[in-house]
A = this chain, B = another copy of it.
Amino acid sequence: MKKLINDPGDVVADALRGVEAAHSDRVRVDHENKIVYRKDAPRQGKVGLISGGGSGHEPMHSGFVGLGMLDAACCGEVFTSPVPDQMMAATTAVDGGAGVLHIVKNYTGDVMNFEMAAEMAEADSGVRVASIVTDDDVAVQDSLYTAGRRGVGVTVLLEKIVGAAAEEGRDLDAVLEVAKKVNGNGRSMGMALTSCTVPAAGKPTFELADDEIEMGIGIHGEPGRQKKPLAPAREIAQELVDPILADHDFTGAPAIVMLNGMGGTPLIELYLMFGEVVKILEAQGLSVARSLVGNYITSLEMAGCSLTVLRTDDDLLKLWDAPVNTPGLRWGC
């Protein structure tokens, strides 16, 4: 295992010291609970937004804390759910009297722990908590750590859009409505060229032969639809687009399209893939209104990419364009 780390058991704690050193203008870090907070949280009257999950997917979620996005991110160990105590601490800390939305990717551990935290925060501190569970991955139904579909790329777009809705003062019910609309209208599909290695495990999560790729891969290396021989980018693009378009109607409305890198793929390849994807989408009558190309929801050093397509409307596009100031996503300020 070749990694820029000290002790495998300290990776998340050590990385959070770097996050704090780099971004103390915008965030503060609770090192004991491994929570990254927006520096000015809680904001009175604003719905608080919390997400979290296993580490190793950076910039998601810790890199999405700041103005116009999350108020707090709970960082689990690598590929391991945070615990309810972290989530409860974050929930009570960011509540500004308007309630808190939990943004939860659909993995059994995350869902269970966030539910428990919500109950505890409501019972102990009277915080009103709502939850959205993202499940946008069209690759497989049920998976290694999931009942139902996995939550993947749409979580990034949702945190941005819902963050803007909370920032402009919408109440908890309205913010939850936006979250449901985003999750309901977003679909994703990923693929891997290589595996990745969890530091504490010390060996690759799964195996791929030198000429093999895996279509429909999960962000923790969970099995996808099939292993198959490496193919040209344009063919892979087609195999990412097809199941997404088969699963939802994206015609007749502007789409936000994210071509996301899994962590180990050079940007030149991500742009190349984005070009191929857009060509196919536009030939199918889609209108690509906004785009995002880069590493946003990663799987450590895995090489590969995922595609997320979100059907939008005027409100969602306006919220997308609103100012955001986080380490991982920034515009308008």
A interface with B by C-beta (< 8 Å): 2-7, 11-12, 14-23, 55-56, 58-59, 63, 78, 193-194, 210-211, 213, 230, 232-234, 236, 259, 263-276, 278-279, 288, 291-293, 295, 298, 300-301, 303-305, 325, 327, 330-333
Question: Nearest B residue to A192 by beta-carbon distance?
Answer: B2
- Measured CA separation A300–B59 after assembly (Å): 20
Q: Considering the complex, give the chain B residue whose CB is closest to the CB of A293.
A: B22
Partner of A266, one of B12, B58, B278: B58
Contact B293 A295 (CB under 8 A): no
Q: Which of B14, B233, B236, B298 contacts A275 (CB 8 A)?
A: B14
Contact across chains for B5 and A233 when beta carbons are under 8 A apart: yes
Known A-B contacts: A3-B193, A14-B275, A63-B267. Give 14 more (CB < 8 A). A2-B303, A3-B269, A4-B265, A5-B272, A6-B233, A14-B276, A21-B278, A21-B291, A22-B291, A264-B264, A265-B301, A266-B301, A330-B331, A331-B333
Whether B268 contacts A300 by the Cβ 8 Å rule is yes
Complex interface: chain B residues within 8 A of A234 (CB): 6
Report A291 CB to chain B, min CB distance, Å.
5
Q: List the 6 closest A-B pairs by CB distance, nearest first.
A: A18-B275, A18-B271, A17-B275, A58-B267, A18-B274, A4-B269
Contacts of A274 in B (CB 8 A): 18, 21-22
* Known A267-B263, A275-B15, A331-B330; contact A236-B4, beta-carbon cutoff 8 A: yes
Q: In the complex, which of the residues B22, B213, B232, B330 contacts A5, with contact meaning CB atoms closer than 8 Å? A: B232
Q: Bound state CA distance, A305 and B18, in angstroms?
A: 14
Q: Are A59 and B267 in contact (CB under 8 A)?
A: yes
A/B interface sample: 10 pairs, CB < 8 A: A4-B265, A6-B233, A6-B276, A14-B275, A18-B273, A56-B268, A58-B267, A59-B267, A63-B267, A263-B267
Interface of A is mostly: mixed
Q: How far is the CA of A66 from the CA of B249 in the complex (A)?
A: 35
Of the candidates B19, B211, B263, B325, which one forms a contact with A271 in the assembled complex, judged by CB atoms under 8 Å apart? Answer: B19
Of all chain B residues, which has the CB nearest A281? Answer: B21
Known: A265-B4, A267-B63, A305-B4. A11 touches B293 (CB 8 A): no
A58, B267: Cα distance in complex, Å: 6
- Compute how far the CA of A300 lies from the CA of B303 in the bound complex, rounded to whole angstroms: 12
Knowing A272-B14, A295-B267, say if A232 contacts B58 (CB, 8 Å).
Answer: no
In the bound complex, CA of A288 to CA of B24 (Å): 11
Cα(A4)–Cα(B236), bound, Å: 8
Nearest CB on B from A269, distance (A)? 4
State in angstroms the CA–CA spacing of A288 and B11 once bound together.
23
Q: Bound complex: CA of A59 vs CA of B266, how far in Å? A: 9
Contacts of A233 in B (CB 8 A): 4-6, 14
Bound-state Cα–Cα, A23 to B12, Å: 34
* Contact of B266 with A263 in the complex, beta carbons under 8 Å: yes
Contacts of A56 in B (CB 8 A): 266, 268
| Nearest-CB residue, chain B, relative to A2 | B193
**B residues near A279, Cβ cutoff 8 Å:** 17
- Minimum distance in angstroms from A144 CB to a CB of chain B: 21
Would you call A273 and B22 a contact (CB within 8 A)? no
